[in-house]
Structure 1
């Protein structure tokens, strides 16, 4: 029998590899960070609080992340990855249903903590250079992700020419971020409301007009 066919809990069960164990550790730290960021904010979320919530030591934290900023960026990447996984199904829907499918997925997800952290970092950026840099990195990575989504949609959606592409990317991010913030404030944002918001951006007649830079 191979050495990796049991994990000590019964014959026939494969022992997890070191890479699998590390992936689980990272995932639990990210999940814990989302909870601690939500309750304490970015400044108030100490590494000790995050590791305690995850059930790990500080050593486990630093073997996966250099600091809280890197962890927050990874949390944001995980959220974007969640959407990337459902994107093929959304794009496979009919032209009439595609925006509605995206709207339903967005409203089915809990409002993301990162939206509140963006507000906090914006407040802190004048006092802390690190906050300013982290805010810029978060914004750039999210804009880059939205642009990648538009690349995927090029064959199925009427995406604009290059001179309007950045404007559309910013408009989509503004719409989704604003909707997420309203949800945090207790404003109901059902799928129909989100669909109206996205359709207003994606089907805007402005995109069909010649833009003068």
Structure 2
């Protein structure tokens, strides 16, 4: 294989069959004659770039101006990216000919645009280890969800219910003794989905 590679310039078959070398030399001569006829005059665009455009962009003053304009372009682009407003409205993801567009338009006009999610802070919370107090607190949340202008459970983001679901994964947990245990609360609030509640509780 190495021997054949060294002889590649003279023809792969000539490395193994010397009598083929005469044909390869003849082919090379024909190619060299044909190459002389492939010469073409440079086109107008080629001469323009070679004689005018190339020397122009290599001038020192042109380089300095180009560098300055590039820095200005980067600054304007960075400013535009900072002040860019991202619109992720639902109608952006639906085809204009889709019949759902009518519903999305009405929902965007009358439902989502007017909805505000208030945050309630309980200054004197009950003892959630006690089942009775926990149920009374849940009843208060249910009443808030049932007010005249509320949209119901879909608008509720309550850390207590998330924490209860988290504790249900541990069969050894007893609410009366382990509800406020630091180990479980630390693991709960360290999770990415529940870190949003940490600032409102501690």
Confirm or deny a common fold (TM above 0.5). no
Q: Give the TM-score range, shorter chain.
A: under 0.3
Higher relative contact order (CA 8 A, sep 6+): 1
TM-score for both structures, normalised by structure 1: 0.23
TM-score for both structures, normalised by structure 2: 0.24
Give the structure with the larger helix fraction: 1
